[in-house]
Each structure stands twice: as C-alpha cells, then as structure tokens.
C-alpha cells in the first residue's frame, strides 16, 4: 500500500483541478468532491488496519534511496488523523451543499486543495515538506475566509493572513536553522538531535513555537477568536477541525522524534498547556455569540490534547491522541449544529435567538449530545478522553493538572449551557420581532444596520415559508452524524483506545518510525 501514499496529496489536487474544470456544473463538482473524500476515508481506514500493530508504511518518493528521498510515512497516528480529517471534510462538504456555500464554483476546489495539504502534512516525514504542506493547506484557507469580501470578513481575513504568514515565516526560519545546525531536515535523521546539541534544540524550539502558534496555544492564541467566527459557517467547521490540528499533530511528531520527549522541558510545557486550558475556558465564557464561544473553547481543548506532552509517557500520549480524535469529531458536530442555527436564523448572537429546541428537536438533540461529549459526560467519547487525561496526570502525580482538568470541564459546561439556554431553550424571540415584519418587507434594506437585514430575512421567511421551523434535514444530518459517532466512540472506546495506545507507543519509542523513514 506504500505506493499509494502520495495519492493522499495528488488525488485531492487532481480533484480540485477537475472540479474547477467542471465550472458551473455544481452536481458534477459535488460528485467529484465526495468521491475524492470517500476514497481518502477508505484509504485511511485501510492504513489504520495495516498499521494497527505498530508497523510503519513508508514511501520514498520517486524511488530515491532513504535519507535522500523526501519520505512519506504512515504510522498509526498518521492513519488515525487522515481518517478523522477525511470524515470531517465529508461532513463539512455535505453541510456546505445545504448552506449553499458550494454554489460558489471556487468553494469545493478550495476545500479539496486544503484537504490535500492537510493529509500531506499528516504523512510527511520531512520538516521542510511539513512547511510546504502547511502552506498548501493555508493558502486555500486565506481565500475561504475572505471569499465573500464583506467588510468584517476582510477585517478578519487581514488578521488571519498576517498572523499565519508571520508564523509560517518563523516556521521556515526554524526549518532553515534546523538544517544549519544538523545538516538534514529528514525527521528520521533528526531523531534525538535536539537532545544532543543545544543549537539543534534551539532550532527545533523555533519550529515548535511556530507550530504552537498554528495550534493556538496561549500566549499566541488571540488570532483564533478574531478570525474563525467571521468565515461562513461551513468554513469555520472545516478550518477548526483541520488547520489548528496540523499544528497539534506537528508538535506531537516533532517533539517525540526530534526531542525524544526531553524531560527538562516538562515543566514549561505543563505551564503553557494548563494556562491554555484555563484561558481558553474563561475566554469562551466571555463571548456572547455561538461561534466565538466555540472558537475560544478550541484553545482550551488544544491544551487538553497536548497535556500528555507535559508528562511524556505512553498513558498521557494515548489519552492526548484519543482526545484529539474525540475533539475533532465533537467540535465538528458543535460547529455544524450551531452553524445550522446560524444559517437559518441569520445570526449567532445568543441574545437574539431562543426556542430552537422546540422548533428543531432533532438539531437540539445533536447539539446537546455533542456539548455533553465536549464537557466529558458519559457515555460520550469526551468522558473517556477526559478520564484518561486525568488518570494519566494522576498516575504521574501532577495533581494541579488533575484539578485543572476537572475545573476547566466545569467552565466548558458553563459555556455550553450558555449556548443551550440562549439559543435552544427559552422563549421564541421571533414573537417580538413579528410586529416589524410588514414594514420591513416593503422597506429598502438598510445595509449599515445589521438589525434591519435580519428582520428583513425573518420577514421573508415568515411570508414565503409560513411559520418558522422546517429546517432542511440536510442541515441537521451532518452534525447529528458526528454527534452519533461521538456516542459510538464513547461506547466502543476500547477499539479507539487500542489504536491510540499503539500510536502513543510509536511516539514514546519512535525507533520503528525512524528505521522505516531512513530506510536502514
């Protein structure tokens, strides 16, 4: 199967070219997109079964000998990430079909290029190639964020572009420094390099800082809540599950291979990650709209995922990787359900929403399931994830970490309750607004006033579609599917825990990875 690894990169790129050629024929574009993502998903699952015994599949691209070629390597961690990423791309694409995002003929090609870059980043075993893959994934995201060209979107896009470009430049400089100090950028050749020389450790540190900024760790997290909520709802779901997770994956891989999980760095890591958890949790509470709450929460979750790095051991990493898989799925479900509300109601402000649970019980069910999963309530996957993180911390004797894992869960619970009470529960805000409807429907929309456009939209809904409600099933199903998957992963956690255990072994002892990549 190793010959097929480069397919992960060029199949989405080929798909992007074909969808571009398909032009205005939206159905053909959709067919190509879904076929490509489904093929990648099938390949990811195949690789997962092949690598579940801890073996590593490597393709030395173009047949150059190991050490000279730019290798692609798939181990359990990579295969897991590819599978989950492909799942999220499928769900987000399905969602975009129903929100109408894909009527823009450039939307699906951009999503395909982005997904290709993400898969490439998950399988590359070369630091410079990691930089290139991150760029391949980022450039479509620049366009996706600024695609509609509205003032607030351009403002957010400006921050997003400059921050990510700066971080990419730092990453590139870090890769250059790694080459200058060690003479190679092949991850296999770099094994343990940072423990042997101070120069290599500093160079690797620059790479880790850049990856940490991509993953939105505190104190370099503040770009995230200022940019993601402004994109279209489908785009936010896609970016949240894929782009920040490249940074997380990169930290796992680089720290495990290059630094061999250096013990001297455990305390700084713990401090950064615990502060990230707390700041993200508190920041989410301070927001007043659905997506900003969820996006701020992402920082907090990244803290949980990487906490295993702070006590580099098999248990902690197993918990972290499980948490990563759980988080992509549960967070994706939350973004898709909240996005469905936002798409239908025209706003994400908690104060202007309410009573959605009465009108859309199925959507509310999907949201509450995903929210409980994120908080860590059994029987959802979040419980297993949080329990194993807390257990690993307790076994390592990091009691402050245990306490914060539990305390920040309460903050997450509060944030989720805030959305539940503001959006799904309570009175229907439409009743108050209906008095404006006749006037607004005949009036010229005032583009400077955000309220009037919402009222106009509501008025249109009221006139053309009768009473509110009757959300298209297609808007509900992608989120519901991910929420159900989170439940399944919680009930059948043994299988996933086994896989993440193998992945964690591969990080604690990367010798199999190193031997396979360097081909010795």
Partner 1 sequence: MSAAVLVAVLVAGGVYLLLQRGLVRVTFGFVLLGHAANVLLLAAGGMSRREPPLLSTTDPAVAADPLPQAFALTAIVITFGVSVYLLAVAGNGGDDDAADAEADPSPARMTEQGVEL
CB of 224: closest distance to partner 1 in angstroms? 12
Any contact of residue 291 with partner 1 (CB under 8 A)? yes
Q: Binding string to partner 1 for residues 214 to 253, with x set by CB under 8 A, is what?
A: ---------------xx-xx--------------------
Of residues 181 and 301, the one with the C-beta less far from partner 1:
181
Among 243, 239, 112, 228, which Cα is nearest to 168's? 243
Any contact of residue 142 with partner 1 (CB under 8 A)? yes
Any contact of residue 130 with partner 1 (CB under 8 A)? no
Any contact of residue 346 with partner 1 (CB under 8 A)? yes
| DSSP three-state, residue 201 | helix
Of residues 6 and 176, the one with the C-beta less far from partner 1:
176
Please spell the DSSP secondary structure of 440-502, one letter per residue. Answer: HHHSPP-TT-HHHHHHHHHHHHHHHHSSS----HHHHHHHHHHHHHHHHHHHTHHHHHHHHHH
479 within 8 A of 329, measured Cβ to Cβ: no
Any contact of residue 116 with partner 1 (CB under 8 A)? no
Any contact of residue 70 with partner 1 (CB under 8 A)? no
Among 198, 62, 189, 63, which Cα is nearest to 127's? 189
Question: At a CB cut-off of 8 Å and minimum separation 6, what does 460 contact?
Answer: 441
Any contact of residue 484 with partner 1 (CB under 8 A)? no
Piece of the chain touching partner 1 by CB under 8 A; list 31-39, 110-118, 245-253, 340-348: 340-348
Any contact of residue 152 with partner 1 (CB under 8 A)? yes
User: Which residue has 């400089």 as its token pair?
Assistant: 173
User: How far is Cα of residue 237 from the mean position of the Cα atoms in its chain?
Assistant: 8
Return the ∠ at Cα 509 (arms to 251 and 185), rounded to 5°: 50
Both structure tokens of 115: 């997904």
Subset of residues 292 to 331 that bind partner 1, contact rule: CB under 8 A: 292
What b/e readout covers 335-346, taking b as 16+ CB neighbours within 10 angstroms? bbbbbbbbbbbb
Instruction: Report d(CA 260, CA 148) in Å as an integer.
Output: 45
Any contact of residue 84 with partner 1 (CB under 8 A)? no
Any contact of residue 275 with partner 1 (CB under 8 A)? no
Return the ∠ at Cα 416 (arms to 413 and 420), rounded to 5°: 130
Any contact of residue 454 with partner 1 (CB under 8 A)? yes
90 within 8 A of 38, measured Cβ to Cβ: yes
Any contact of residue 447 with partner 1 (CB under 8 A)? yes
CB of 167: closest distance to partner 1 in angstroms? 11
Of residues 156 and 408, the one with the C-beta less far from partner 1:
156
Piece of the chain touching partner 1 by CB under 8 A; list 289-297, 326-334, 417-425, 467-475: 289-297
Q: Using CB under 8 A as the criterion, which residues of the chain lie in contact with partner 1 when the complex forms?
A: 128, 132, 135, 139, 142-143, 146-158, 161-162, 165-166, 168-169, 172-173, 175-177, 179-180, 229-230, 232-233, 289, 291-292, 342-343, 346-349, 445, 447, 450-451, 453-454, 457
């Amino acid at each position: 199967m190793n010959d097929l690894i480069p397919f992960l990169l060029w199949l989405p790129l080929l798909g992007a070219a074909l969808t571009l050629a398909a032009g205005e024929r939206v159905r053909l574009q959709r067919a190509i997109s879904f076929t490509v993502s489904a093929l990648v998903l099938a390949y990811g699952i195949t690789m997962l079964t092949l690598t579940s015994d801890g073996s590593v599949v490597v393709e030395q691209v173009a047949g150059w000998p190991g050490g000279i070629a730019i290798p692609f390597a798939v181990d359990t961690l990579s295969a897991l990430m590819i599978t989950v990423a492909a799942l999220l791309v499928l769900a987000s694409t399905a969602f975009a079909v129903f929100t109408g995002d894909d009527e823009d003929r450039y939307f699906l090609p951009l999503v395909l290029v982005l997904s290709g870059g993400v898969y490439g980043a998950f399988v590359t075993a070369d630091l410079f190639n990691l930089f290139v893959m991150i760029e391949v994934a980022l450039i479509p995201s620049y366009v996706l964020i600024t695609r509609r060209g509205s003032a607030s979107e351009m403002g957010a896009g400006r921050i997003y572009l400059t921050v990510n470009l700066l971080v990419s430049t730092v990453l590139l400089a870090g890769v250059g420094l790694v080459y200058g100090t060690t003479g190679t950028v092949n991850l296999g050749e770099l094994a343990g390099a940072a423990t042997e020389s101070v120069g290599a450790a500093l160079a690797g540190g620059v790479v880790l800082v850049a990856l940490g900024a991509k993953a939105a760790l505190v104190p370099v997290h503040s770009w995230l809540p200022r940019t993601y909520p402004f994109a279209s709802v489908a785009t936010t779901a896609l970016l949240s599950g894929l782009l920040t997770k490249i940074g997380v994956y990169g930290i796992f891989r680089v720290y495990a291979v290059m630094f061999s999980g250096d013990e001297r760095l455990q305390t700084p890591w713990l401090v950064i990650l615990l502060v990230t958890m707390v700041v993200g949790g508190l920041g989410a509470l301070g927001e007043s709209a659905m997506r900003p709450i969820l996006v701020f929460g992402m920082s907090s979750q990244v803290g949980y995922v990487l906490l295993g790095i702070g006590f580099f051991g098999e248990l902690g990493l197993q918990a972290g990787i499980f948490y990563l898989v759980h988080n992509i799925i549960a967070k994706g479900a939350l973004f898709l359900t909240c996005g469905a509300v936002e798409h239908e109601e025209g706003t994400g402000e908690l104060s202007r929403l309410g009573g959605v649970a009465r009108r859309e019980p199925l959507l509310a069910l999907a949201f509450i399931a995903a929210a409980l999963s994120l908080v860590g309530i059994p029987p959802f996957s979040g419980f297993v994830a949080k329990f194993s993180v807390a257990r690993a911390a307790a076994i390592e004797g990091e009691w402050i970490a245990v306490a914060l894992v539990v305390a920040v869960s309460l903050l997450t619970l509060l944030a989720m309750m805030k959305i539940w009470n503001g959006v799904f529960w309570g009175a229907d805000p439409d009743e108050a607004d209906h008095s404006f409807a006749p006037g607004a429907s005949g009036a010229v929309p005032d583009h400077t006033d955000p309220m009037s456009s919402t009222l106009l939209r509501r008025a249109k809904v009221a006139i053309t579609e009768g009473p509110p409600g009757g959300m298209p099933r297609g808007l509900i199903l992608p989120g519901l599917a991910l929420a159900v998957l989170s439940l399944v992963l919680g009930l059948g956690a043994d299988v996933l825990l086994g896989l993440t255990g193998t992945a964690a072994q591969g990080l604690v002892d990367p010798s199999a990875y190193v031997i396979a990549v360097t081909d010795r």
